[in-house]
Amino acid sequence: MKEENKKYVSEAYDIICHAANVIGPRLPGSKNERKYAQYMGDKLREIGIEPKTEKFTVSPRASIGGLPYAGWYGLILSIGTYFALSIPTLWYAMAFGSALVLLWLVLCVFLYRTWFDMFFRQEISQNTYGELLPEDGEYDYTIILSGHTDTSWNWKHSEHNYKFRNKPILGIISTYGKVGFGAVCVFFMMAVSFLMAAFYFGMSSSAAWANSLYVSPAFNSFVSALRFIPIVTGIGSCFVIMWLDPKEENASRGAMDNASGCALAYEVTKYFKENPEKMPKRCRIIDFNCGSEEAGLRGSLAFTRTHKGEEVLQNAWNINIDSVADDEYFEVVIKDDWQGCRFDADLEKMFKETFKELGIESKTGGCIHNPVGGCDSTPFTRAGVKSVTFAAQNPVLTYYYHTWRDLPDRFSPETVGKGFDVILSVIDKIASFQEENGYVAPRKKIK
């Protein structure tokens, strides 16, 4: 790290400490989320950049925050089975409810669609951002440095594995085992509801296959088993209910995820503000503090929808910074698998080259797909912006990921400093790319 950069890294770490230890948990749409956004807005004012605030509504439990509801529904199905065995028409209601819950899980929890948001309690969240212009005010392209201000609910199963922090394999088995078992139980009871509803519909229609099934030994054995299976599925459903701790005071402190991203975006912006001669030519830089990422990318969705067709999203690059703390896991995230969104190949190449130039070795090889959920690069990519997500985070579930143990004393300022160097280097590469090629649309393959 260059001596001239140390003050920016120190300030970035101070911002992280303030967010985690002073402000604390910052759930989507909460007062603390707004407090941190205001804090970052005040930091922009300190360097002469007037921030803009754009508010939007968010339904925190409509997406991944509502996963316990699926567990509750699994428990309802498990209990309801005992009534449905005596009152067969109940299977129709259970199957209809299962279809709605399954539709919500696929569209909103897994794919982050907003279609069901209106049915959940809404809160007010906000995006806060400021722009740094060249000294002459003229620019040809924009670099958006983004980080999300909110934090996740405390994931109980991950936090409980703190006792396995020195035995990560046991922690992984324990966490995935409980969550996987619970998910299987919930989906199994949904499948039972569909099958039994179809069977009784067939019986009411005098279908030959239903009458044949009714007298089969296998079917009768299955019905007999349904007097015991719901006990197991009820217990499994409780593991899904327990996944998220609903109490805000127990939520993640968000030092890594993602005060680190907001702090680095700000300090890089401040660096160019105080060193205008190093600013890329004819480039505008936007420090974007994005709200409610943990509620299904709602802040980045709101921003890209609000500004669709406007110049802020034209000729734009987005370096989304999300969780820079784990020194052995520096990586560029190039795809959200669940969202089916491939990020920009040019930025991917720039990050990989930067890691090599800076001598950064990573256990992930410096490149990963986001296997579950999504990150703010997806809405930006779909809006035509060249985007990737930069992280330094163990991609495997750990005791500090989305738990109250995400604290700044777990990682060092040196790791944050390495992240600062990476971002500056990539921005230099973007500037060189612009001079050589001009702006090109997002690419999916490296040349």
> What is the rounded distance in angstroms from the CA atom of residue 416 to the CA atom of residue 364?
18
Same domain? 264 vs 408:
yes
pLDDT, tens digit, for every residue of 231-285? 999 999 999 999 999 899 999 999 999 999 999 999 999 999 999 999 999 999 9
Share of the chain above pLDDT 90, in %: 90
pLDDT, tens digit, for every residue of 18-72? 999 999 999 999 999 999 999 999 999 999 999 999 999 999 999 999 999 999 9
Do 144 and 380 contact (CB within 8 A), yes or no? Answer: yes
Q: What rounded mean pLDDT belongs to the chain?
A: 95
In this structure, the number of other CB atoms found within 10 A of the CB of residue 124 comes to: 14
- How many distinct helices (H) and strands (E) make up the chain? 14, 11
State mean pLDDT over 348-371. 94
Same domain? 232 vs 341:
no
444 located within any domain: no
Say which residues have a Cβ less than 8 Å from residue 328's Cβ, sequence separation at least 6.
362, 363, 394
- Domain stop point among 208, 228, 245: 245
State mean pLDDT over 4-14. 94
Same domain? 279 vs 241:
no
* Count of the separate structural domains present in the chain: 2
DSSP H helices in 358-406:
377-382
pLDDT, tens digit, for every residue of 365-415? 999 998 888 999 999 999 999 999 999 999 988 999 999 999 999 999 999
Say which residues have a Cβ less than 8 Å from residue 12's Cβ, sequence separation at least 6.
260, 263, 264, 266, 267, 413, 416, 420
- Domain stop point among 245, 279, 305: 245
314 located within any domain: yes
| Segments of 358-427 assigned E as strands | 367-370, 386-392
DSSP H helices in 121-259:
156-160, 168-204, 208-214, 217-225, 229-241
Same domain? 225 vs 240:
yes
Instruction: Tell me if residue 55 falls in helix, strand or coil.
Output: strand
Same domain? 52 vs 172:
no
Say which residues have a Cβ less than 8 Å from residue 187's Cβ, sequence separation at least 6.
none
Print the domain residue range for 177: 65-111+161-245
> What is the rounded distance in angstroms from the CA atom of residue 91 to the CA atom of residue 53?
49
> What is the rounded distance in angstroms from the CA atom of residue 112 to the CA atom of residue 322?
18
pTM over 0.75: yes
- Domain stop point among 245, 271, 295: 245
pLDDT, tens digit, for every residue of 129-162? 999 999 899 999 999 999 999 999 999 999 998 9
